[in-house]
Amino acid sequence: MDFSSFEKIVEFAIAREEDAIQAYGAMSGKAKVPGLKNLLLELRNEEKNHKRLLEDLDKKELKDLEIKDVLDLKISDYLVEEPLNGDVTFQDLLIFAAKKEQKAVELYTVLRDRLDRPEFIKLFDYLIEQEKNHKLKLEAEYDDSVYQED
């Protein structure tokens, strides 16, 4: 991975957003529960918006980005992720998606911590915030739907 320039970092982030768009699209195709399908399609659309934002982003706009702290329910941190094959349950998809978001947070955090230029750090802080928001949505859905069933 080459993070020698702002453009290279944005290019990497766009590729990650594209991966997420494809993954949420594939997961939504496996979802049998309408509410989960809608949630996954909503997350896919948010990833599309992030990709567009990154494509249109320049260094000047980074100064205007407001980074907010995001609550971490940590629900998925203690759950076991099962491979998605065969008959996927609502719970399996929520765990898989939340774990995927956590892995993105971890990756962006490691990369951010290797940087020393403030504009690059701010870009990764923004990406981390976005991924944490997705994890929060998924964990809140898990809390509302799965914990309520148990």
Rounded CA separation 122/115 (Å): 10
Q: Does any domain span residue 15?
A: yes
Q: Does any domain span residue 21?
A: yes
CATH number of the domain bearing residue 104: 1.20.1260.10
Q: Does any domain span residue 45?
A: yes
Q: Does any domain span residue 1?
A: no
Q: Tell me what the mean pLDDT of segment 18-35 comes to.
A: 87
Q: Does any domain span residue 64?
A: no
Residue 137 has a CB neighbour count (10 Å cut-off) of: 17
pLDDT tens per residue, range 110-148 = 989 988 888 888 888 988 999 999 999 999 989 998 877
Note whether 17 and 54 are within 8 A (CB): yes
Q: Does any domain span residue 65?
A: no
Q: Tell me what the mean pLDDT of segment 98-105 comes to.
A: 92
Angstrom distances, CA of residue 148 to CA of 31, 91, 145: 19, 12, 5
Whether 3 shows a pLDDT value over 90: the answer reads no
Rounded CA separation 147/91 (Å): 10
58: confidence class by pLDDT, cuts 50, 70, 90: confident
pLDDT tens per residue, range 6-24 = 788 889 889 999 999 999 8
Angle between helical axes of 34-56 and 118-149 (0-180°, round to 10): 180
Domain count, the chain: 1
Supply the range of the domain harboring residue 143: 6-58+70-149
What mean pLDDT is reported for the chain? 86
Angstrom distances, CA of residue 37 to CA of 40, 85, 105, 106, 133: 5, 16, 23, 26, 18
pLDDT tens per residue, range 60-75 = 677 778 899 999 999 9
Its pTM stands at: 0.82
